[in-house]
Amino acid sequence: MRHSSLSSFLDRQRGSAGAGPVSLVLAEDDVELDSTLAHQVKCGFRTVVLLAPDGVRIAEDLENQVQIVRHDVFAEGALVAAVNQAIAALPGSWLHYCHNAEYLFFPFCETRTVGEMLAFHAEERREAMLTCVVDLYAGDLSGAPNAVALDDAWLDRSGYYALARKDPANAWQPSERQLDFFGGLRWRFEEHIPFGKRRIDRISLFKAKPGMTLLPDFTLSDQEMNTYACQWHHNLTAAVCSFRTAKALRTNPGSRHAIPTFRWPNSVKFDWHSRQLMDLGLIEPGQWF
């Protein structure tokens, strides 16, 4: 179904707040748009919303499974603004957001739905989940000049690290249970990445609450929801496996010719399975099994 604006779509959804998780997908271009939407549907989201400009086309079999909303995707902060609209309209609903060519993976996602996973997470009195962006890239850039290739996707198996997040409102003391995560292509090619864009952590799965907002750095205004775990044990975490950084580095004239390949000794082929991400320590099953 197509909607003329996000406001129009959300007006129709107000009565269904809390009925099931909602995924917002912002289409920056048409690269792997269909595969992204199909992945979100397979994850089990009750509603998958495509935010796209006029004229976007998706596979016929997805037309009846996705809500297509006309949105100015090129406006500054378009994704953050859309998420904040959804937060205000759907209090009590679990929300997820991503771009095209990005794929959510959580522990055991091959056999469990996102709704089942969030039900367990909520039972642990958690209202948000840390998700780290794991950069994907094509192994052969001559065959995939935009660095996007689902059947030849690679990732870094090491090179990730975290630093204590300092709180400027508290004399720059470390924030409790909050960390800034780094790694992947944004770390290896940091000379091409603006300083403020190098973190790979996002809070991209959370329960909407009145008055709460998503900030431009993909954290939430409620500080407890930015924590990676509760006070008594480790919690579930998830990953957003993303071609977005690789695609940008290959599109930008300033970096395209400086990077003949993204592969290095610590590259490993991605097998599109949550077990690989757990084995590499990139997602955490917590107490869920």
Res 18: pLDDT: 66
Res 171: pLDDT: 87
Residues 280, 145, single domain; the answer is yes
Residues 146, 267, single domain; the answer is yes
255 φ, ψ (degrees, to nearest 5): -120, -20
Residues 184, 81, single domain; the answer is no
- ∠ CA(68), CA(110), CA(31), 5° rounding? 40
Res 206: pLDDT: 97
Residues 213, 75, single domain; the answer is no
Each residue's pLDDT expressed in tens, for the chain with a length of 289 residues = 899 999 999 998 877 666 789 999 999 999 999 999 999 999 999 999 999 998 899 999 999 999 999 999 999 999 999 999 999 999 999 999 999 999 999 999 999 999 999 999 999 999 999 999 999 999 999 999 999 999 999 999 999 999 999 988 888 899 999 999 999 999 999 999 999 999 999 999 999 999 999 999 999 999 999 999 998 888 999 999 999 999 999 999 989 999 999 999 999 999 999 999 999 999 999 988 7
Q: Which of 50, 69, 100 is the last residue of a domain?
A: 100
Residues 152, 83, single domain; the answer is no
Using only the alpha carbons of the chain, give its radius of gyration: 18
Res 17: pLDDT: 64
Residues 163, 37, single domain; the answer is no
Res 13: pLDDT: 85
Contact 200, 132 (CB under 8 A): yes
- Domain of 89? 1-100
> What's the structural domain count of the chain?
2
CATH number at residue 14: 3.40.50
Q: Which of 100, 117, 134 is the last residue of a domain?
A: 100
Residues 90, 53, single domain; the answer is yes
Q: Which of 68, 100, 132 is the last residue of a domain?
A: 100
Q: What is the pTM of this model?
A: 0.96
Helix, coil or strand: residue 82: helix
Contact 23, 45 (CB under 8 A): yes
Report how far apart, in Å, the C-alpha atoms of 99 and of each of 9, 23, 177, 215, 219 are.
19, 10, 27, 16, 16
- pLDDT tens for each residue of 18-58: 678 999 999 999 999 999 999 999 999 999 999 999 889 99
Residues 96, 175, single domain; the answer is no
270 φ, ψ (degrees, to nearest 5): -80, 130
Residues 96, 113, single domain; the answer is no
Nearest to 35 by CA among 50, 22, 20, 21: 50
Residue 107: other Cβ atoms inside 10 A: 21
Res 267: pLDDT: 98
Residues 134, 53, single domain; the answer is no
Residues 16, 38, single domain; the answer is yes
Res 174: pLDDT: 92
Residues 220, 274, single domain; the answer is yes
